[in-house]
């Protein structure tokens, strides 16, 4: 007797952004879009301004979990070494954290089919650092919120916001 397993996945374009002929699209939010639409991410934006290592650590852990487990990270905590390394690099050099953020931003663009370039990632990470971290956070949240309720852990941390579009 064969058993069938149901594979639950999230949408990498949960907000149904228009896609061009190459399969590329824009970001879910503008670079300064932490207060626009349903993306009320002012707390994330403030955290990115005053303690960017926390937002970077959360983004890194969440992206790694999505890539490795195809489900949202259940806790959403920045309890990994990425936050510490980012903090140390930023402490010793103002653009030190950008060295880590540029590859993560490229990974996020690749995963979600977002149009852009390495040069654009570099410039955005250096000149608009907190806004870039917040934009990346919003992009990751879009996929996490597209999973059915309860997928990825029992905490429900990503599934309780009724304003989020949970497209499949």
Nearest-angstrom CA–CA distance, 53 and 47: 9
Please write the tens of the pLDDT for every residue from 13-23: 666 676 777 88
Nearest-angstrom CA–CA distance, 125 and 59: 14
Residue 156: its pLDDT value, please? Answer: 42
- Give the CB-side neighbour count of residue 79, counting CA atoms within 13 A: 5
Residue 123's nearest CA partner among 108, 101, 93, 92 is: 101
Residue 2: its pLDDT value, please? Answer: 63
Confidence of residue 11 (pLDDT cuts 50, 70, 90): low
Q: Where are the domains of the chain?
A: 42-146
Please write the tens of the pLDDT for every residue from 41-91: 788 888 888 888 888 988 998 898 888 888 788 775 656 677 778 777 777
Question: Is residue 159's pLDDT more than 50?
Answer: no
pTM of the model: 0.77
For the chain, state the CA radius of gyration: 16
CB-based contact 14:165 (threshold 8 Å): yes
Neighbours of 63 (CB within 10 A): 20
CA 18 to chain centre: 19
CB-based contact 139:146 (threshold 8 Å): no
- DSSP bridge pairs for 25: 114
Residue 31: its pLDDT value, please? Answer: 85
Please write the tens of the pLDDT for every residue from 115-150: 999 999 999 998 988 899 999 998 888 888 877 765
């Amino acid at each position: 007797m064969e058993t069938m397993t149901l594979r639950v996945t999230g949408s990498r374009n949960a907000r149904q952004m228009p896609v061009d002929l190459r399969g590329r699209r824009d970001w879910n939010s503008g670079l300064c879009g932490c207060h626009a639409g349903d993306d009320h991410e002012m707390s994330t934006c403030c955290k990115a301004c005053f303690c960017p290592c926390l937002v970077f650590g959360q983004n890194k852990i969440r992206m790694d979990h999505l890539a490795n487990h195809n489900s949202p990270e259940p806790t959403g905590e920045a309890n990994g070494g990425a936050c510490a390394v980012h903090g140390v690099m930023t402490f010793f050099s103002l653009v030190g954290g950008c060295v880590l953020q540029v590859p993560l931003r490229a990974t996020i663009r690749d995963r979600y089919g977002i149009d852009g370039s390495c040069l654009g990632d570099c410039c955005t990470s250096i000149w608009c650092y907190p806004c870039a971290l917040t934009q990346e956070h919003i992009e990751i949240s879009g996929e996490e919120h597209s999973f059915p309720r309860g997928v990825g852990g029992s905490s429900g941390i990503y599934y309780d916001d009724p304003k989020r579009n949970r497209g499949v």
